Amino acid sequence: MLAHTLSALLASTAIAQTSPEAVAPPQVSPTVAVPGTQERDEEDVQRSSVASDIIVTARRRAEAVQDVPIAISVVGVKELDTTGSFNVQRLQQLQPTLQFYSSNPRNSSVNIRGLGAPLGLTNDGIDQGVGVYIDQVYFSRVAVATLDFLDVQQVETLRGPQGTLYGKNTVAGAINITSKAPSFSYEGRAEVTAGNLEFKQAKASVSGPISDTVAARIGLSVTSRRGTIYNVASGNYVNAQDNIGFRGAILWKASDSFKVTLSGDYNRQNPECCAQIYVRYGPTQRPANRQYPSLTSQLGYAVPSTNPFDRLTDLDADLNARNILGGASLRAELELGSGTLTSVTAWRFWDWLPANDRDFTGLPITTLSQNPTKQDQYTQELRYAGEGNGFDYVVGAFAFYQDIHTTGTQRQGSAASRWLISPTVRDTTAPGNPLLYLDPTVLDGLNASNDIRLKNFSGALFGKLNWKVTDEITLSPGIRVNYDDKVGSYVSIVRDAQGNLVPATGGNPRQIEQRTALTPQAFRDEAYRAWNASYDFTASYKPSRDILFYATYAHTFKSGGLNLNGVPVAAGVAQTQFAQVKPEKVDHFEIGLKSQFWDRKATLNLTGFWTSIKDYQALVNDGANSTLRGYLANADKVRVRGIEADFSIRPSERFNLYVNGAFTDHEYTKFTNAPCPPERSGGSAAPAGNPGGLVGVPGQPSPLVCDISGQWLPGISKWAFSFGGEYNVPAQIFGKDGEVYLGADANNRSKFSSNASRSIYTDINGYTLANFRLGYRTDDFNIFGWVRNAFDAKYFELLATTPGNTGLVSGNPGDPRTYGLTLSASF
């Protein structure tokens, strides 16, 4: 059984591996990230007879995980496998404070406690608030979170601001993924799974020595599944899965004090994806003859079904979500003096080739919408973790460079004129002043070519000290100094079907309507440069062996950025005052209790937190067709506060149970110039300061901005729970000693908003997902049947208002009930 601790960017995280005979449920043993941990062999990690009492080498000495005052949850390889949590989307069902949203791999966001990234379409010009790390390497693209876990040892979710212990600064937390290390004894594992919806998954890994000082490991994962949405137009199932991943690593133990690990990986997705389908019609303030019911009637169109859980669509544009990530890293670790010097050098690449249907209908309105992107990323981290008499510490330096080039295309079709042009607009330059909306050639073939570039550098110095004042009291200050330098450009050139340039200003009535549909604009070499300092302080008090109290204050930031999806245009001039986005300024308070009782068979951890953010980076979509991707603005202030509880019990090796819960209170404390929700948009402009007409009534005037102070933030449920357990009995099959087990896990979340400005049309009702498994296992063999979403709950992952204020609301229905069989063997 391999159990080891691996030095991690999140302050060197301690690892614990459960045995097949006593598989712990997720978060039964909430492990914590602490400085100074080294990668160690099996004998360096001790475990008592009680599974929840895990002893790790944390601050360069053996200590129980409950002794370290940081809130983090760890899911090990056994839990990942038995619960089918093979990506971050599945992982969120085990951890109530983790949220993951995705309309496609690029447009994904990972939030912790509701904070991290704006819910909606991705903007390359800003940083993520939740860091994703794989083997101590920072991944700047959240797209990696949609890929399958590959030969993973464990996944840690660290809650709260970070940055004084490791590389990239993050204001909401981090997900740290640790791969299995090469071993100096031969070992291997293979797993195959088959299920409904033509689900097939295979995983395999082998490891062993090449020489006395060199070991290697190779892992492979393949996943495919039929789509969950049937496209009646193409005859294909869409929103499918088609993933493949490869990882290899070589470990060289040059001496007892020096070792080097070289690793590389390649991950590819290439499904027919991703469709957002009709959910409902929600009236806006646009004139009635320009809203969804009237427009579709004029064009003789009807969706295949108005019930989204019929899972039917007729999208007529190509769909594709090819997503390729890979790279290489070199990690060197040298025991030097009283500590360890670690260097992590990495290169990452990302290749995104999408195709979307951005009118969300079977009509030829927008026939092509894509933003293929290429990225190269380079990181270098150097840190030293040491200890002295009564203290230990980490100091380090981090450098990050990112180069992104996006070349987008959007093309309008034959139905675009009637859909997008007002029926009152006439071509005054033509005889008889014909109505432009009746002429399909006005917008048919209109094309926007976008060129988007970003060069992004970030450098930092950081440090953390743990000073043991007495046997009971420890004080832990930390500091980070950070410099960011971002230079970006956005150029959108619009041409008509004949290839003629559409001017940014002036022109004839046809050209005026053409640039209303697709707006030419350009800004080049827009720069954001700034120094920032972060600091935090934790005080902990341990009055007895099984009780720990702690309190933390952190003052940190999320880097400012650039709007690289275009900005509003007035009189043909790009409003470049919106090109830059201010940094978020974060004040975070946290108190916690960690406790064990009943001879350490039960664990109860409680956390209270209060996070205030000034200049919160919020996504804005002004409803225009030309702002499909939205732009960013700063909300004055938001506040998120709550209480988290993690409880687990293991009375014997035969039974375990866990319940985790979170109450999260959240609001825009002050956001007086926010975008209006769809029910207050689309009408003629109301005078400045006027609240506008009746909500959701066609033909009413609409305010220019709305005051949404006191309203919900998007994506956060007030209540969230995860719970489950497992029972096993000894059994002997074919002469092999093992156990039969029955396991269950479930998660529940309450209603949440799916729009930057809360809308009466885009709240998502709460739901509960329940999963079950029944199987038989031995030390080296496991077979089990499983069912996910066992009660076939009908729920949405996302709801979105579509461009143009037509009242069309689209969404992503969650997976239906799925079931299958998994077989694995190891040697």
CATH number of the domain that residue 68 is part of = 2.40.170.20
Query: Model confidence at 630, in pLDDT bands (50, 70, 90)?
Result: low
In the block, residue with structure tokens 């390729």: 324
pLDDT at 25 exceeding the cut of 50? no
The whole-number pLDDT of residue 63 equals 52
Instruction: Report CA 498 to chain centroid distance, whole Å.
Output: 41
Which of 105, 600, 556 shows the shortest CA–CA distance to 325?
105
* Tokens coding 29: 């043993």
For residue 101, the model assigns a pLDDT of 86
pLDDT digits (tens, 9 = 90+) for 589-613: 999 999 999 998 999 999 999 999 9
Give the whole-angstrom CA distance, residue 515 versus residue 442.
11
Is 405 contained in some domain?
A: yes
Residue 11 lies in a domain: no
Q: Using CA atoms, how far apart are residues 345 and 617, in angstroms rounded to an integer?
A: 30
pLDDT confidence of residue 8:
34
Are 145 and 218 contacting, i.e. CB atoms less than 8 angstroms apart? no
663 falls in which pLDDT band (50, 70, 90)?
Answer: very high
- State how many domains the chain has: 1
Identify the band that residue 153 occupies on the pLDDT scale cut at 50, 70 and 90: confident
Mean pLDDT, the chain, rounded, equals 87
What does the pLDDT look like over 396-427, one tens digit per residue?
Answer: 999 999 999 999 899 999 999 999 999 999 99
* DSSP code, position 52: T
Instruction: Classify residue 308: in a domain, yes or no.
Output: yes
Residue 3 lies in a domain: no
**Would the pLDDT of 487 be above 60?**
yes
Looking at the chain, the whole-number percentage of residues with pLDDT higher than 90 is 68
For 287-305, b where at least 16 C-beta lie within 10 A, e where not — what string?
beebbbebbbeeeeeebbb
In three-state secondary structure terms, 16 is coil
Q: Which residues form the domain of 598?
A: 20-732+741-783+792-826
The Cα 488–Cα 405 span in angstroms is 10
Q: Which two tokens stand for residue 821?
A: 């069989």
Residue 14 lies in a domain: no
- Output the pLDDT for position 290: 94
Asked if residue 13 belongs to a domain, the reply is: no
Q: If you average pLDDT over each of 160-174, 249-263, 428-442, which comes out highest?
A: 249-263
| Residue 37 confidence (pLDDT) above 70 | no
Question: Does any domain span residue 101?
Answer: yes
Per DSSP (E only), the strands in 469-626 are 473-495, 521-544, 547-558, 561-562, 569-570, 573-574, 580-581, 584-597, 602-620
What residue type is assigned to position 339 of the chain? Answer: G
Question: Out of 51-65, 397-411, 615-629, 715-729, which region has the weakest mean confidence (pLDDT)?
Answer: 51-65
**pTM of the predicted model as reported, rounded to 2 decimal places:** 0.89
- pLDDT at residue number 48: 35
Residue 149 included in any domain? yes
> Could you give the CA distance from residue 454 to residue 518 in angstroms, rounded to a whole number?
22
